[in-house]
A and B are shown apart, each in its own frame.
Chain A
Amino acid sequence: MTRGDDFANREFHKTWETVTGPVMCDFRVDDDPGFSRLDPVDWSNTRAVLDAGCGPGAYVAHVRERLDPPPFTSRRTSASSA
């Protein structure tokens, strides 16, 4: 088995020791953690998105924010619930 094959092997992922402590990426000093790279997509015209990643999906929450903006709350609703 080559190392490239490991990534398609479910057993490899089950046995690979996961690092849970802080890593160097936690010490980026710029303000943008990289999610502005999503901006070139016209999200208003987007429903189905494929995140073809090799990890647990760090982008999912940020894509969801762009697909599902906060629901509109009318002034009447706000007043009646106050």
Chain B
Amino acid sequence: MAVPVCVDVAALPFAEGAFDAVMAMHMLYHVEDIPAGVRELRRVLRDDGTLLVSTNSVTSEREFMDLLMACGLKELPVQDARFSSENGGELLAEAFTDVRFFEERSKFVVPDPGPVVNTVQSMRYSLEAHLASSVTWEDFLFRVADAAQDVVDRHGALVTQSLSGVFVCR
């Protein structure tokens, strides 16, 4: 039985050691107080349980990010960098004695600009604040569509490398 609850990860309404395993997949970079969130994940995990934490590298999807920068993004959002493949281990080691990282590499081969625009639209919450002042969100979407179409016309697809990984913590 799966029970959905909407709570703050830094104040979980569960007893100490309530869970045999805990997962925090691609989410810790959203948390305002990351060390507090990590401590709570440790607290609700049984002593010999396992925490799985996945996140991205700060260099992931560089080709896609370069396209966004060329379309009016003045800087990359720093959200992922708050908890990344590069710095996540140090943050987790404050609450776990055994932290191991397993890198994952893949790539996206996108043959149509539509999914690129959809992806950008789904990221509006983090991107819009980083647009150049002269660029509206609608302008940005049109530019992304044109740029993605140009890449597809020239290369057959937009190809971008995905670099991520999972921390196994005990």
A residues within 8 Å of B by Cβ?
Answer: 3-8, 10, 16-17, 19, 21-30, 32, 34, 37-38, 40-43, 45-54, 57, 59-60, 63-64
B interface SS class: mixed
A24 CA / B129 CA spacing, docked (Å): 22
B residues within 8 Å of A by Cβ?
Answer: 2, 4, 6, 8-9, 12, 14, 18-27, 30, 32, 41, 44-45, 50, 52, 54, 64, 102, 104, 106-111, 114-116, 118-119, 121-122, 125-126, 129, 160, 162, 166, 168
Q: Please name 27 pairs of A and B residues whose Cβ atoms are closer than 8 Å in the assembled complex, sorted by A.
A: A4-B30, A6-B125, A7-B30, A8-B8, A19-B122, A21-B114, A21-B118, A22-B114, A23-B118, A24-B64, A24-B110, A24-B116, A24-B119, A29-B108, A30-B107, A34-B104, A37-B25, A38-B23, A43-B21, A46-B20, A49-B21, A50-B14, A52-B24, A52-B41, A53-B24, A60-B2, A63-B23
The A-B contact count (CB < 8 A) is 120
